[in-house]
Structure 1
Amino acid sequence: MTFFLIHGNHDFLEKDRDVLELPENVFTFGETVQCVTWKGKFGETVRLYGFSYTERHVREKRLNEFQKQGEADFHIALLHGSEETKSSEHDVYAPFNLSELKQKGFDYWALGHIHKREILSEQPGVYYPGNIQGRNRKEVGAKGGTIVELSPKGASFEFFETAPVVWDKLQIELEGKVDQTTLFRKLEKSLQSHREKSRSYILELEVLAENPDGVSSADWLQMFEDEVSAAPFVWVNALKFTSKQSQSNDSWQQDLLLADELKAAIQELREEETFFETIESLYLHPGVRQYLTELDEEKQEQLLSAALMKLNETYAEIEDGKK
């Protein structure tokens, strides 16, 4: 069995730096696009194309370097890069456009960089397999590898799980006033469904209620922490209580002309790095920073919710003024 490897921005081939010696059956592509030929035991011929990063940031397009060479049953390209028409949580490296990939005439594009599993095209096959283990709360759901089969009709994909620990999100809705007994039963029921599975889970819980004020998420988190057993385990990593009123107030966003842009901006602000870049000037201001406290994840969400409610009020005032 032969393996073909390209290096990306996290494991780039830094010049003059010692690297691990890989087994002889692993072929590593160099810094320029190479074409290598592989022959199967039944006589099939495959040409593979790819390049490895030699620095962390590869901003320029490299797509023009991919050119089919010679005759083969299949031509497969390996590319670590970003589809430029899609918004992404990841930095944009070696950008490409899906239509440009298809015009190249390759049978399959094995993509890297984006940690979310996604099929961009089946004919020809263009695919992000994602990573094999979720690293943080943003990388939810099953992670693993994919067996890709090529034929003249296109590509087929068979996913298999590898991650022993899965990050997941759960939302629980309560009717009426929040009481300890109802809340306990609801939370236990949700957690039990995960405890019965063969994998371990790190969960982010959100409880929707009419009036969750006064309910301490810290106390409940402590209780769940005390109940954690050996693997497979269920760990409640975050717990927040959200007012149904504040959630229903978000519906006004759907009516806006720039609803998609607003949604993207909100999502971006929920990213920790972007959030702190936005408020950085306050913490650097000598007259303000002495009055500021450390912001944990719950307080960040509260600030964002308050800002959205203010936008909602402003939008309502504008609409009333038009009448």
Structure 2
Amino acid sequence: MTYKIQRHKSITKRKSNSKRKWIFYLISLVLLLFVAIGIYKFRDGFLYYLGFKTNKNIATLSKEERKLADIRIYEVLHKHDDKAIGFDVSEYQSKIDWEQTYHIDEAFELSFVFIRATAGKNKIDTRFKENWKGAKERQIIRGAYHYYRPNENSLEQAENFITTVKLQKGDLPPVLDIEKLPKSQSIDSLKVGLRRWLKKVEKHYKVKPIIYSGESYYTDFLKKEFSDYPLWIANYNFWRNDLESDWLFWQFTEKAQIQGIEGMVDINIFNGDTNKLLLKCIR
């Protein structure tokens, strides 16, 4: 009797172990599948990195992080090589050698740049004037943006931008950069302020401004009321490879390297080629 019980326990234990092994194998298979999909999805980027990249690195990223960033950047740009590619800068990029800012890794031409002009009701970017002039001399399509501070007067912020930025023929429309939620007012009050800024700036420049925001922020708080404005969306999702049809610009990374600029830079893709981009400029 004891022997039968022990034998039964032994068989049960073997079945349990076998079941755990199958679960382990299944999980391992799923993980390997995800890895394989990832490698296939970014195969051009991996091949590019293995074949052509050097050991250049920057202090803010580890070597592995730098490698992954370069792979993603190459893969996305390679997929959209029929579209206009650009970047955006502010005083945080320090002094820029504009004569060096023609390509990313000598493979992708840079056609446009957005430059921070102002923030809030009284902040002027300390390098806006030199960047604005440098971009003009570089003969790259340029645009200026305002960083909106939700807890400051919207009309004073619009006036700050208007006083600072003198748009010319061939420049991109003005941009309102909204990323933060208000601390001392409601979302409805924020929307009223944004609308006032947009209306005042549009009246002054005679062109509809572009709204820049993160995809989640825009979807959650702005889409319902502001879908009639051109969009510049930030989305750094590693698995996203394409723009939505209603995105005018897509900022897909903040980790690019451009010759002539210290540190990391945001890269943007326009939803069309350079000829279509020129049609969006002030005439």
TM, length-normalised to structure 2: 0.30
Structure showing greater relative contact order (alpha-carbon pairs closer than 8 Å, 6 or more residues apart): 2
TM, length-normalised to structure 1: 0.27
Higher strand proportion, which one?
1
